[in-house]
Structure formats: structure tokens, C-alpha cells
Amino acid sequence: MPLVLTEEQSMLRDSARGLISDKAPVSHLRGLRDSKDATGFSRDLWKAFAEMGFSGLLVPENFGGSGLGCVEAGVVMEEIGRTLMPSPFLSTAVLAVSALSRGGSEAQKSAHLPGIADGSLLAALAIDEGAKHRPLQTKLQAVRSGNGFKLNGAKALVVDGHTADLLIVAGRTGGAAGERSGLTLFLVDLKANGVAIERTVMVDAHNAARIEFANVEVDADHVLGEVDQGAALLDGVLNIGRGAVASEMVGLSEEVFSRTVSYLKERKQFGKLIGEFQALQHRAAQLYIDIEITRAAVLKALQTLDGDFDRASAAVAVAKARAGTTATLAVQEGVQMHGGMGMTDQFDIGFFMKRARVCQELFGDSNYHADQLARMKSY
């Protein structure tokens, strides 16, 4: 598989870019932030997304989607990264769809996937509980009760949690925090008794929520995949999510970088364009090289997810770690090279810096993935 986009993938990119840059430039996010919008994204835009087939990109064709792969999801995520458009694409179209189509029963799939594909159903993945991403540290208790389970515990950083209709929740049916066995995934209706949602206003003005579960009852047929064996399913879903977030970071990095290079070509000091200073030229060149190399690593990970899913973990760790460090550098250099302008809220650069920080944290930061890689290679 050549490490370049196919013609169809490039066409998908162009149509996503057209829609997103037209309807949701950075000012769109700014507007939602400034008006403290209760939904945090535009439902109309999500409808337009669905009409173009983006919400059902990963949904299999027999459930109303287009049955495409991770590379295609990455292509859309990258465009989202360019304008920071807030949307349920990651939570619903990528994470929930992957969880349902990889772990769901026929009944679960037909209950939820068509709604996601047509844009009417929103879903969110509730995994992390502590300050850092540690999926195996899940403590949320799921004890057997009647024909199902009773959930008790709390989740943090549930992306799009407060607008979702359906939650996919990781809980412990066995084992202790830190162990792989004993994890189970549940489908939980947001309106179920005992679910308390608090929207968390985040630095990047994107949607997230804290969710508490107090004696929430779920039926046995709401178990996604097998009881106690959720870790493998979760790994797979998270790897897809990591690939997607890494793509968003590539888009974000590239956008900040290109804005920065343009600035170097227009801002004058000491009677020269600042882009003539070699100290800045070299830093810009290094960043360019970093971004290109990261782009290749991310595409490699997405292609591996599509081609050899079970062996994609290492490639995904590489991609997410690289994307995190590259995006961090890109936004830092972006602000620095814009000088005082970079620190103003009026200028968009700061939005990228904030989003990069959140993306770095989502599903494991660069340190987390470096540690994972070392474990995979046994040292």
C-alpha cells in the first residue's frame, strides 16, 4: 500500500475541506465559545455532515453507512484540525461506531448504527476516571444485579458527554484496577436513572463532561462484547481513536505552521522581513520536517489499522506520540514567531495552542505512548 492518499481519498479530503472551511472556519468555534452556546457545536452543520456521508463513514454499508476505513476517517479529522471545528465526529462517528461495529451484536448494531449514519443519534465513550489516560485503571463498579448490572462510579473527560444520547461506558465486572481482565463495556442510555452529567468547560472550548453513575441499572443485553473481556475491544477502539486524534493534530499543526510561515513573509522588523532571519528560517525548516515525518507516521498507522488491525498497536503508539510532540512544538513556535500578536485572543493562534493541549492528553500523551512502545518491545 503506497503511503499516499488514493484519488478517492483525495476527493474526500477536498469535499471535507470545502464544507469545513466554508461553514466552520475558526471564527465558528470562537462564536460558540463567546456565546457560551449550550450545545457547543452546530446541529445544522452535523446534519450537513450526515448528508455528505461523513457521519456514516465507518458504518458498514448494510447499516446505512459507507463502510470506509480509518484512513478516510483520518482524512476528515485532519480537515477538522485545520479549523478546529467542534463536532461529534470523533465521539460518535469514529469511537462509538468502532465500538459498536467491532463489539456489538446484530441487534445492537441495527439499533444504533443507522441512526448514527443518518446523523440523528449521538454517542460518547466514557473511559477515563483520573487525571491521566489509564484505561486499565478503570474502577467504575459494575456488579451483577437481576438480569443485568448496576453501575457505580464516575468518568471524566467524556468527549461530547453532555450532548450524547448513548454512552459507551467501561466498567469493572472483575479484577482490580490496573488488570486487563475484568473490564466490560456497557451501552448506557443518557436518560437512565442515576446518570448525572456535568458539562466541563474546557480550555479549548470543545465539549466534554464529567458523568456520575449512581446505581444505574443496565440490562444484560446492553453489554457490548463479552463480560470481563472488554480490554481487547477497548484497545482496538482506542487505537482507532488515537489514529483519529493524531490526524486532527497533523491538520492542526499544518494549519498553525502555514499561518506562521505566512506571517514570516509579511511582518517587518529592522527593515527586513522577519523570514529573512536565519535563526527563524532554520526553526521553520525544522518544524516543516517534523510535520512531514509525523504525517507519514500517522498515515502509516491508519493504513495499518485498515490492513492489519491486530498488529497496529506499535504504529499507533508511534503516530500518537509523534503527533503530540509535533503539535506541541508547532503551536509553541506559532505563538512565539507571531510575537505579541500570538498572545492576543483576537488572533486565532491561541485556539490552536489550546486544542493541541487537549489532543495531546486524549487517549494517552506522548509519554504514555513512549512507555507503551517500550513495553511492546520488552525493555
Instruction: Give CA–CA dist 188/211, Å, rounded.
Output: 12
Instruction: Report the nearest approach of another protein to the CB of residue 14 (Å).
Output: 15
Per CB under 8 A, which of residues 250..269 are in contact with another protein? 261, 264-265
Percent of the chain as helix, strand, coil, to the nearest 5: 55, 15, 30
Instruction: Give CA–CA dist 157/364, Å, rounded.
Output: 12
Region at 187 (left for phi over 0; alpha for psi -120 to 50; beta for the rest): beta
Instruction: Report the nearest approach of another protein to the CB of residue 180 (Å).
Output: 14
Per CB under 8 A, which of residues 352..371 are in contact with another protein? 366-367, 369-371
Region at 182 (left for phi over 0; alpha for psi -120 to 50; beta for the rest): left
With binding defined as CB under 8 A, does residue 271 bind another protein?
no
Closest C-alpha to 116, from 171, 159, 165: 165
With binding defined as CB under 8 A, does residue 276 bind another protein?
yes
In this structure, what are the phi and psi dihedrals at residue 226, rounded to the nearest 5 degrees? Answer: -100, 145
Instruction: Report the nearest approach of another protein to the CB of residue 294 (Å).
Output: 6
Cβ closest to another protein, residue 176 vs residue 203? 176
With binding defined as CB under 8 A, does residue 282 bind another protein?
yes
Which 3 state secondary structure label does DSSP give 172?
A: strand
Q: Please give the DSSP secondary-structure letter assigned to residue 254.
A: H
Q: Where are the alpha helices (DSSP H) in the chain?
A: 7-23, 26-34, 43-51, 70-83, 97-103, 106-117, 230-264, 278-307, 313-337, 349-361, 366-376
Cβ closest to another protein, residue 48 vs residue 273? 273
With binding defined as CB under 8 A, does residue 133 bind another protein?
no
Which residues, in sequence order, are CB contacts of 94 under 8 Å at separation 6+?
Answer: 58, 73, 77, 240, 241, 244
Question: What track of x and - describes contact with another protein for positions 203 through 242 (by CB under 8 A)?
Answer: ----------------------------------------
Cβ closest to another protein, residue 173 vs residue 366? 366
Q: Binders of another protein: how many residues, by CB under 8 A? A: 44
**Span from 1-9, 35-43, 154-162, 204-212 in contact with another protein (CB under 8 A):** 1-9
Which 3 state secondary structure label does DSSP give 265?
A: coil
Cβ closest to another protein, residue 166 vs residue 291? 291
Cβ closest to another protein, residue 49 vs residue 257? 257
User: Could you tell me the maximum CA-CA distance found in the chain, to the nearest angstrom?
Assistant: 78
With binding defined as CB under 8 A, does residue 14 bind another protein?
no
Question: What track of x and - describes contact with another protein for positions 283 through 322 (by CB under 8 A)?
Answer: -xxx-xx--xxxxxx-xx-------------xx-xxx-xx
With binding defined as CB under 8 A, does residue 373 bind another protein?
yes
| Residues of this chain that bind another protein (CB under 8 A) | 2-4, 261, 264-265, 272-273, 275-276, 278, 281-282, 284-286, 288-289, 292-297, 299-300, 314-315, 317-319, 321-322, 366-367, 369-371, 373-375, 377-379
